[in-house]
Amino acid sequence: MAAPAPQPTTRRWNRADWLRGYTSLTEERDYWIDDIEGNLPADLCGTLYRNGPGLLERGGQSVQHPFDGDGMICAFDFTGDGRVRFRNRYVRTAGFIAESKAGRFLQRGVFGTQKPGGWLANAFDLQAKNIANTNVAYSPKKLLALWEGGKPYALDPQTLETIGEDDLGGALAGNANFAAHPHYDRRTGEMVNFGIEPGLSSTINLYTLDANLNVTAQHRWEVPGFAFIHDFALTDDYAVFFQNPVTVNPLPYWFGFRGAAECLVFQPDRPTKVHLLPRHGGRMRTYETVACFVFHHVNAHIADDVLTVDSIAYETFPSLEPGTMYRQVEIEKIAASQLFRFTINLKTGASRRERLLERAVEFPSVHPARVGLPHRWAFMAMADAPTGNAPLQGVLAYNTHTGETQTYSFAPGGYVGEPVFVPTPGATEENAGYLLQMVFDARRGTSGLAIFDARNVAGGPLARLHLRDTVPYGLHGQFVAK
Ligand code: 3ON
Ligand code: FE
pLDDT in tens, the chain (482 residues): 455 656 556 899 999 999 999 999 999 999 999 999 999 999 999 999 999 999 999 999 999 999 999 999 999 999 999 999 999 999 999 999 999 999 999 999 999 999 999 999 999 999 999 999 999 999 999 999 999 999 999 999 999 999 999 999 999 999 999 999 999 999 999 999 999 998 889 999 999 999 999 999 999 999 999 999 999 999 999 999 999 999 999 999 999 999 999 999 999 999 999 999 999 999 999 999 999 999 999 999 999 999 999 999 999 998 767 778 999 999 999 999 999 999 999 999 999 999 999 999 999 999 999 999 999 999 999 999 999 999 999 999 999 999 999 999 999 999 999 999 999 999 999 999 999 999 999 999 999 999 999 999 999 999 999 999 999 999 999 999 99
Q: How far is the CA of 82 from the centre of ligand 1 (A)?
A: 37
Q: How far is the CA of 60 from the centre of ligand 1 (A)?
A: 24
Answer left, alpha or beta for residue 359, where phi above 0 means left and psi between -120 and 50 means alpha.
Answer: beta
The protein residue with its alpha carbon nearest to ligand 1, atom 17, reads 67
Q: How far is the CA of 416 from the centre of ligand 2 (A)?
A: 15
pLDDT at 201: 93
Q: How far is the CA of 402 from the centre of ligand 1 (A)?
A: 33
Ligand located closest to 151 CA: 1
Answer yes or no: are the C-beta atoms of 393 and 408 closer than 8 Å. no
Radius of gyration of the chain (CA): 21
pLDDT at 323: 79
Q: How far is the CA of 69 from the centre of ligand 1 (A)?
A: 12
Rounded Cα distance between 306 and 67, Å, is: 35
Ligand located closest to 312 CA: 1
Rounded Cα distance between 376 and 215, Å, is: 32
pLDDT at 437: 99
Q: Output b/e per residue, 287-323; b: 16+ Cβ within 10 A.
A: bebebbbbbbbbbbbbeeeebbbbbbbbebbbbbeee
The protein residue with its alpha carbon nearest to ligand 1, atom 19, reads 67
The protein residue with its alpha carbon nearest to ligand 1, atom 20, reads 67
Residue 458's Cβ-side half-sphere holds a number of Cα atoms within 13 Å equal to: 5
Distance from CA of residue 326 to its chain's centroid?
A: 18
450 contact partners, CB below 8 Å, separation of at least 6: 395, 410, 416, 436, 437, 438, 439, 461, 463, 464, 465
Ligand located closest to 380 CA: 1
Annotated binding site: 181, 230, 296, 476
Q: How far is the CA of 144 from the centre of ligand 1 (A)?
A: 18
Answer yes or no: are the C-beta atoms of 134 and 153 closer than 8 Å. no
Distance from CA of residue 103 to its chain's centroid?
A: 29
Ligand located closest to 365 CA: 2
What angle is formed at CA 194 by the lines to CA 248 and CA 373, rounded to 5 degrees?
A: 115
CATH fold for the domain made of 30-481: Methylamine Dehydrogenase; Chain H (2.130.10)
CA distances from 295 to 180, 361, 428 (A): 11, 12, 30
Spell out which residues line ligand 1, taking CB within 6 angstroms.
67, 110, 133-134, 147-149, 177, 196, 198, 228, 230, 260-261, 295, 362, 392, 473, 475
Q: How far is the CA of 49 from the centre of ligand 2 (A)?
A: 15
What angle is formed at CA 299 by the lines to CA 398 and CA 45, rounded to 5 degrees?
A: 75
- Determine the residue of 20, 110, 475 to mutate for testing ligand 1's pocket, defined as the one with the most ligand atoms within 8 A of the Cβ atom: 110
Q: How far is the CA of 4 from the centre of ligand 2 (A)?
A: 36
The protein residue with its alpha carbon nearest to ligand 1, atom 30, reads 362
Ligand located closest to 381 CA: 1
The protein residue with its alpha carbon nearest to ligand 1, atom 32, reads 473
The protein residue with its alpha carbon nearest to ligand 1, atom 11, reads 149
Annotated binding site for Fe cation: 181, 230, 296, 476
- Determine the residue of 18, 19, 65, 67 to mutate for testing ligand 1's pocket, defined as the one with the most ligand atoms within 8 A of the Cβ atom: 67
Q: Which amino acid belongs to residue 22?
A: Y
Q: Which atom of ligand 1 is nearest to the CA of 134?
A: 19
- Determine the residue of 334, 475, 476 to mutate for testing ligand 1's pocket, defined as the one with the most ligand atoms within 8 A of the Cβ atom: 475
What SS3 string covers the chain?
CCCCCCCCCCCCCCHHHHHHCCCCCCCCCEEECCCEEECCCCCCCEEEEEEEEEECEECCEECCCHHHCEEEEEEEEECCCCCEEEEEEECCCHHHHHHHHHCCCCCECCCCCCCCCHHHHHCCCCCECCCCCCEEEECCCCEEEEECCCCCEEECCCCCCEEEECCCCCCCCCCCCECCCCEECCCCCCEEEEEEECCCEEEEEEEEECCCCCEEEEEEEEEEECCCCCCCEECCCEEEEEECCEEECCHHHHCCCCCHHHHEEECCCCCEEEEEEECCCCCCEEEEECCCEEEEEEEEEEECCEEEEEEEEECCCCCCCCCCCHHHCCHHHCCCCEEEEEEEECCCCCEEEEECCCCCEEEEECCHHHCCCCCCEEEEEEECCCCCCCCEEEEEEEECCCCCEEEEECCCCEEEEEEEEEECCCCCCCCCEEEEEEEEECCCCEEEEEEEEHHHHHHCCCEEEECCCCCCCCCCEEEEEC
Q: Which amino acid belongs to residue 185?
A: D
